Amino acid sequence: MLDRNEDILQAAEDWKKEGRGVALATVMETWGSAPRPAGSNLVINDEGTFLGSVSGGCVEGAVVTEALDVIASGEPKMLEFGVADETAWNVGLSCGGTIRVFVEKVG
């Protein structure tokens, strides 16, 4: 996991130069207890390689899966994970918080 957004954005730029499809996931909002603050990023390439963090645990696996769809379709997605959502338990977000993550293709 990289902590600096500059490193994450540099990886996105490098992957684009290599001809890879790339998506950027950004934490837009958090409520309650959340592992990463708003503005945290995860960059994903079309091979499923990723750098950064939007939450931790299995949430990132779910975000990577959604990002691969975004890369293929070009359509951005807003994802929400929260303790009241059964999906949250499936992906390991049991901390009592909710996060919204925007995933977009890097052009």
Dump the DSSP string for 37-93: -TT-EEEEETTS-EEE-SS-THHHHHHHHHHHHHHHH---EEEEEETTSHHHHHHT-
Q: What is the pLDDT of residues 28-83, one digit of tens each?
A: 998 877 778 899 999 999 999 999 999 876 788 999 999 999 999 999 999 998 75
Q: What are the residue boundaries of the structural domains of the chain, listed by start?
A: 5-105
Q: What is the pLDDT of residues 5-41, one digit of tens each?
A: 778 989 999 999 999 999 999 999 988 777 788 999 9
pTM: 0.84
Say if CB 3 and CB 39 are below 8 A apart.
Answer: no
